[in-house]
Structure 1
């Protein structure tokens, strides 16, 4: 919103006789005190004790209004720049302190009436013509209207700047949360306030991936509470309520994939984003679909979280396979995993694998020769099962990466 203040009151005051201003000047302190007393009585927002910054601001604002009014009388050459800048700043401060303009406007109107009443004995004692008194009164109320309009300019400018800064602040906030929230708690709290965003205790991080030629991400479908960065080399977003806030994306993510981390405390956001990005790099039967919910695949994601550790576990738990050919390793690994997962006999394992029961019996005897008593130890069996599942997941992942277009 843009408007121009005409400042008619300055011209009206300049047309008054300078003698009137000279006679009123010694009484400006009395007028200012009367204004403050009436403002504090009638305007609740300014009713607190005049101490500290608040007290200084109120007193200076009132005194400057009275002083400038008197200085303008009979003086067409006076500069108004400092006065205009001061009341624009007052308007900005009203916005920054979370108030609307009503208290300031009420105080200006109420204060003007109080000042006019306080000055009446002086004006009457000067024996000035009635038309001068009328013009002085008209100038007072025009002056008040223009003071309020000047403050409104500052208020609206501050409001517009804050609105324009919100997207930038929200992006900075998201970046800070995604990197190191535990070391930036105060900065996050401050940015959240400046971005008009309620800081949640928990949230989910969502990694995004765009296929070549895909349309723009349908960000307009998301609630304004969702923080989003589509310009990052690996775009992502934050949502405090993924089930509800991501629901509008169902069926609307043409050419996009998303991986949603579990809902975690905000301090764990970096790890959650790492997990979501890891999930995006997986595919196949274990992690299907355009929207991957990590909570449904925690075991797989945990097994694939550290390639190095997975390889070390396989080396330690499956070392008897080292002397076998690749074909032998694959057959026996498949049989061993099926047995570990079911702990059933040859017929059940054979049915699961789709082979003859005698084939399974032969393989199980081979496994007993290779692993011996380790097959009876619970810790060893757990290590074997984890290593085999990790290997299977990694093979599926590598196959997907090797497919054309990946």
Structure 2
């Protein structure tokens, strides 16, 4: 749990008017020194503070320091709650602006630390010259850093609130984009959705179906622009990821990243055509084909029309229909191996774990059943397709 920031409310410090007056006269110089130190020590702000932006920030620093002096002198501004309220509100808005600019709070908090150090050095020197005693000086120091704590906390809150607000909105846009991509939307609708989501358009997208429990660890190793969909058509208890630019050599990286996660990975497709990758991944999952769908193309092709495949198998194997089931099964198994090994008897025997003479005997039976059909290219093609996938 983060420590609670020190508070300035009821601080009990009241600086003498002459001390306040002397410090206030130095505020423009102190603000300039703070900005210069931040530019020098925080690389992320070197460009942001240049030109007119630097002048704006210097003015903001003066306002913050002026609010602090009002606090330390016991004066109350127009805000009935505390003289620090305008500066705290400004810090909150600064945090929101940093979030909109895509920067983290790291540089901002570093700037606050540097601002506290430089401001304290400058104001303490003025206080000592004005004769401030040691006890009051110590209380003054405590108030300075409590005030910076309040401003820092306000900026962090603004940054967090902005991210939460914009993040939720953008997340909804990204989810809708994923649904457009795999649904029936037109290319114009998809492009418009990508622009609304401020999503960089890739060259390709790859559909990945993944168990819900594996999504978070997988996303840690995938491109930041990966889209996540939990409500795509056909999903049932799993999640769809659309991974950008994982084609060619990058596909190997994607497959290694997803290895052992129960993923089904469709082919890479031009990003506007990713629904075809998703449909292939869905079919592979329905058939129980794991991992890379590209490894299962023959099975996917042969099972594209299950009824047609069943009809083809029945017609192609009709010569074995009158045999006893056990005999027909052995001969079918032998014919499949014989076709896959292009008639090489020893290789066929090794695949079936039988003696080559057994293969010879069975092939004699098959030639008797099929006659000259085993020499006919059309018959061989039909048998190869029919037996390419086990029933």
TM-score, with length taken from structure 1: 0.57
Asked if the contact 1:204–1:261 (Cα under 8 Å) also holds between the matched residues in 2, the reply is yes
- Matched length: 340
Pick which of 67-76 and 104-113 moved more: 67-76
Q: Distance in 2 between matches of 1:345 and 1:134?
A: 100
2:204 is the alignment partner of 1:206: no
Residue 235 of structure 1 deviates from its aligned partner by: 0.8
Q: What's the counterpart of residue 155 of structure 1?
A: 156
- Superposed CA deviations along residues 170-222 of structure 1, whole A, max 9, x for unmatched, are 89868856863995696699669xxxxxx9988672355xxxxxxx9577886
Residue 388 of structure 1 deviates from its aligned partner by: 2.8
Pick which of 234-243 and 57-66 moved more: 234-243
CA spacing shift, 1:190–1:157, aligned 2, 3 Å: same
What are the equivalent positions in structure 2 for 1:245-324 lying under 5 Å apart? 245-247=258-260, 258=262, 260-261=264-265, 264=268, 267=271, 270-282=275-287, 287=289, 291=290, 293-304=292-303, 306-307=304-305, 311=308
What SS is found at the alignment partner of 1:261?
strand
- Superposed CA deviations along residues 94-116 of structure 1, whole A, max 9, x for unmatched, are 67513522233113311342355
Give the RMSD, CA atoms, in angstroms. Answer: 5.8
CA spacing shift, 1:54–1:235, aligned 2, 3 Å: farther
Q: What's the counterpart of residue 8 of structure 2?
A: 7
Instruction: Please point out which of 82, 97, 102 is paired with 2:103.
Output: 97
Q: Distance in 1 between matches of 2:359 and 2:207?
A: 37
Structure 2 residue runs of 5 or longer lacking an equivalent are 244-252, 350-356
Q: Distance in 2 between matches of 1:298 and 1:171?
A: 35
2:89 is the alignment partner of 1:85: yes
Asked if the contact 1:204–1:241 (Cα under 8 Å) also holds between the matched residues in 2, the reply is no
2:225 is the alignment partner of 1:225: no
Structure 1 residue runs of 5 or longer lacking an equivalent are 125-129, 193-198, 209-215, 250-257, 369-374, 397-406
CA spacing shift, 1:269–1:223, aligned 2, 3 Å: same
Instruction: Please point out which of 104, 111, 115 is paired with 1:107.
Output: 115
- Superposed CA deviations along residues 323-359 of structure 1, whole A, max 9, x for unmatched, are x89958x98x96997776566499x899669857255
Asked if the contact 1:207–1:237 (Cα under 8 Å) also holds between the matched residues in 2, the reply is yes
Residue 69 of structure 1 deviates from its aligned partner by: 2.8
Residue 76 of structure 1 deviates from its aligned partner by: 4.1
What SS is found at the alignment partner of 2:151?
helix
What SS is found at the alignment partner of 1:205?
strand
Q: Distance in 2 between matches of 1:155 and 1:230?
A: 32
